[in-house]
Structure formats: structure tokens, C-alpha cells
């Protein structure tokens, strides 16, 4: 607990100080992308790391947040200080709805059905031209009034600190969640579903709470993105955001608070580094994903050493790791028990 708290505090403090040494437009842009990525990765990590399911359509919440902020800003002229929180609220409501539907499913079915949701949303964004302007997207999203006439560096500095604040809020939400009773119940469920259920932990309800939180954080990232890029198109629901999110969470280490932060920093730098490789860079990216899965199955946090987590004292034996657990699980969970949330209780 203390390690993670200290790490996160140090990371935020370091983030606050960086503009003092690297004060130019490019460095600030990289910093902003890191802040944005931390939000995304933290959001996905809540579900992958603590519900233990794999939502391949997590971009739904990011996209909903981005479109909400964009439309509220462009159509209603609301200021940035209200659009970003509202984006989080809209995404959270969507999270409640989508979670209530999808969390009844598990494993590959959950993966595919969440992906379907994101695809449907992408197609809606593409076709509901009256609202979303279709494939053209929503552009001209306002910058905050205080920096409207500012130069590039000043604008970037504003967004950098706004991003730092939002990233810190996301991490705080995540931290408070993980060390709350609900978070502990989620860890218990992740570690041993059968035992957790036997002591009265209700997976469906727990998943739903986590889903709403993750959606809110994703919406926050979306709102921030919309205002920073100043344009939102249907591609926000696309697979490329999903892939970067996945790599950040898994390369960093899922189910830890610090992992997604490390992953976000790494992936942003990696993307910048790979720019030199022009068209080859996506192929290299694909190979890196394969490499991470095979050589860093528990991410950098798992690689660095012991996982500094509240459950670190649990007995370690040959049964450790997802592999064995997953193989034991089917015998312990007859399908009738986990088809619907209610039956789980």
C-alpha cells in the first residue's frame, strides 16, 4: 500500500516539475499525451486488473466521453470546466447500461460483446449525421476562454497541467477504489472466484460498480482529448485506441496501480521513437505486442520484482498465476451458477 501510494505521489510530483526542465511545445505535447494515456490505462486497468475480464470495446466509454464533451461544447457552448465533468457523467451512465448487459457474460463472450458495443457506437457516430456530423466528425471544439488567444507553448502548458490534474484524479479514484471494501472484494474475487462467492461476494454487482468507475475515468480521458485535439470523429471508437490501451496496461502490469502509469509513459515514448521507422512502425508495434505477451506475461511490474500489493502475503505455491487458476476453475463453477449475476449470489 505504501509503495504504491509513494510511487503515485512521486509520479504526480515529478509530473508537476517536468515543465521546469523541458519547456517547449514538443516536450509539453509528449507530456500531455502521457497524461491522457495514464487516464486511459487507469480506466482499462480497473476492469482488466480488478474484474478480471477483458473488454475489447473499452473505447466505447472514451468515445462517448469525447463526443459528449465535443457536442456540449460546440452545440451548447458550455465551457470546458463543465464539459469534461459532464463527459465523465455521461460515460458513467453508459457504463451502467453497457455493464448491466455485458457483465452477464464471461470470457470470450464478454470480449466479443463489448467489442460489438463499441462497433455499434462507431457506426452510430458515422451514420447519425444530424447529431454527430457523421464521418466528418465534430471540429472546432473550443479551448478554455483564458487561453483562447495564447501562443502554442502557453496553450500546451495549460493543457499539461489540466491533464496532470485529471490524471491525478483518475489515479486517486483508482487508488480509493482498490483500497476500499469493494476493491478488496474485487481482488478476492479475482484471486479465487469460488471462495469469494462462498463468503457472499456478488460478482455482478461488484463488476457493475467497477464498470461505472472505469467508464467515468474513460469519459474523463475522452473529454480531455476532445478539447485538446479540438476534433472528434468516429475513429475514437476504433480499435487503434483499444490496442494502445491494452499495451499500456499489460506492458506496465495489470492489477497494479503503478503498472498502467509506467505502461502509459513507455508506450507514448515508444510511439515517438517508432515514428522514425515510418510505415514499418505498426508492424514493429505488432511484434512488440507479441513479445510482451510471451516474455512479460505479468508486465514490467511483475518483472521488476514482488508485487507490492495488499494481497502480497497470500500463500505462493505452484498454483500461482492465472494459468493454473483458470484450469481449475471450470470444475468449480458449473455454468448454471455464473450465467447471470443474480444466480451468482
Contact footprint for other proteins (CB under 8 A): 48, 54, 56, 101, 104-105, 107-109, 111-113, 115-117, 119-120, 123-124, 127, 239, 243, 246, 250, 279-280, 282-283, 285-294, 297, 321-323, 326-327, 329-330, 333-335, 338-339
Q: What is the rounded distance in angstroms from the CA atom of residue 29 to the CA atom of residue 194?
A: 46
Contact 26, 279 (CB under 8 A): no
Q: Which residues of 64-95 are buried (b: 16+ CB within 10 A; e: fewer)?
A: bbbbbbbbbbbeeebebeebbebbbbbbbbbb
Query: CB-wise, 199 or 294, nearer to other proteins?
Result: 294
Q: What is the rounded distance in angstroms from the CA atom of residue 226 to the CA atom of residue 118?
A: 18
> Nearest distance from residue 133's CB to other proteins, in Å?
15
> Nearest distance from residue 276's CB to other proteins, in Å?
16
> Nearest distance from residue 192's CB to other proteins, in Å?
14
Q: What is the rounded distance in angstroms from the CA atom of residue 16 to the CA atom of residue 286?
A: 33
> Nearest distance from residue 280's CB to other proteins, in Å?
7
Q: What is the rounded distance in angstroms from the CA atom of residue 300 to the CA atom of residue 35?
A: 19
**DSSP track, 316-342:** -STT-SHHHHHHHHHHH--HHHHSSHH
Query: CB-wise, 29 or 298, nearer to other proteins?
Result: 298
Q: Sort strands 231-232 and 138-139 into parallel, antiparallel or unpaired.
A: antiparallel
Contact 167, 268 (CB under 8 A): no
Query: CB-wise, 80 or 270, nearer to other proteins?
Result: 270
> Nearest distance from residue 339's CB to other proteins, in Å?
6
Q: Which residues pair with 138 in a beta bridge?
A: 232
CA torsion, ordered 296, 56, 67, 97, to nearest 10 deg: -130
Query: CB-wise, 157 or 267, nearer to other proteins?
Result: 267
* DSSP one-letter code for 311: T
> Nearest distance from residue 311's CB to other proteins, in Å?
19
Sign of CA dihedral 191, 195, 201, 205: positive
Q: What is the rounded distance in angstroms from the CA atom of residue 23 to the CA atom of residue 46?
A: 33
Place of cell 475513429: 235
Q: What is the rounded distance in angstroms from the CA atom of residue 170 to the CA atom of residue 101?
A: 25
* DSSP one-letter code for 135: G
> Nearest distance from residue 1's CB to other proteins, in Å?
26
Q: What is the rounded distance in angstroms from the CA atom of residue 66 to the CA atom of residue 224?
A: 7
Query: CB-wise, 31 or 203, nearer to other proteins?
Result: 203
Q: Which residues pair with 139 in a beta bridge?
A: 231
Sign of CA dihedral 201, 203, 205, 207: positive
> Nearest distance from residue 174's CB to other proteins, in Å?
20
Query: CB-wise, 105 or 147, nearer to other proteins?
Result: 105
Query: CB-wise, 165 or 329, nearer to other proteins?
Result: 329
Query: CB-wise, 105 or 165, nearer to other proteins?
Result: 105
> Nearest distance from residue 227's CB to other proteins, in Å?
28
For residue 138, the SS3 value is strand
Query: CB-wise, 89 or 288, nearer to other proteins?
Result: 288
Amino acid at each position: 500500500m505504501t509503495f504504491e501510494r509513494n510511487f503515485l505521489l512521486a509520479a504526480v510530483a515529478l509530473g508537476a516539475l517536468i515543465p521546469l526542465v523541458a519547456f517547449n511545445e514538443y516536450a509539453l505535447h509528449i507530456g500531455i499525451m502521457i497524461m491522457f494515456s495514464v487516464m486511459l490505462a487507469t480506466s482499462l486497468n480497473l476492469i482488466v486488473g480488478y474484474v478480471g475480464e477483458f473488454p475489447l470495446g473499452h473505447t466505447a466509454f472514451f468515445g462517448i466521453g469525447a463526443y459528449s464533451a465535443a457536442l456540449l461544447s460546440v452545440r451548447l457552448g458550455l465551457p470546458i470546466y463543465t464539459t469534461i465533468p459532464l463527459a465523465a457523467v455521461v460515460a458513467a451512465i453508459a457504463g451502467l447500461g453497457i455493464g448491466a448487459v455485458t457483465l452477464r457474460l464471461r470470457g470470450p463472450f464478454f470480449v466479443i460483446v463489448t467489442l460489438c458495443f463499441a462497433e455499434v457506437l462507431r457506426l452510430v457516430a458515422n451514420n447519425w449525421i444530424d447529431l454527430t456530423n457523421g464521418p466528418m466528425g465534430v471540429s472546432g471544439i473550443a479551448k478554455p476562454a483564458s487561453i483562447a488567444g495564447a501562443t502554442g507553448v502557453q496553450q500546451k502548458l495549460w493543457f499539461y497541467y489540466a491533464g496532470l490534474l485529471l490524471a491525478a484524479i483518475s489515479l486517486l479514484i483508482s487508488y480509493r477504489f482498490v483500497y476500499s471494501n469493494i476493491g478488496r472484494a474485487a481482488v478476492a474475487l479475482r484471486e479465487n472466484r469460488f471462495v469469494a462467492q462462498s463468503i457472499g461476494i456478488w460478482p455482478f454487482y461488484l463488476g457493475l460498480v467497477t464498470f461505472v468507475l472505469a467508464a467515468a475515468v474513460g469519459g474523463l480521458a475522452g473529454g480531455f482529448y476532445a478539447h485538446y485535439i479540438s476534433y472528434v470523429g468516429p475513429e475514437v471508437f476504433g480499435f487503434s485506441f483499444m490496442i494502445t490501451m491494452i499495451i499500456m496496461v499489460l506492458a506496465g502490469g495489470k492489477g497494479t496501480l503503478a503498472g498502467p502509469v509506467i505502461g502509459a509513459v513507455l508506450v507514448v515514448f515508444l510511439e515517438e521513437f517508432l515514428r522514425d521507422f515510418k510505415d514499418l512502425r505498426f508492424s514493429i508495434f505488432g511484434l512488440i505486442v507479441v513479445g510482451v505477451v510471451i516474455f512479460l506475461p505479468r508486465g514490467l511490474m511483475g518483472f521488476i520484482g514482488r508485487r507490492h500489493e495488499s494481497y502480497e502475503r497470500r500463500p505462493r505455491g505452484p498454483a500461482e498465476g492465472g494459468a493454473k487458476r483458470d484450469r481449475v476453475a471450470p470444475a468449480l463453477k458449473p455454468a448454471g451458477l455464473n450465467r447471470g449475476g443474480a444466480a451468482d449470489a
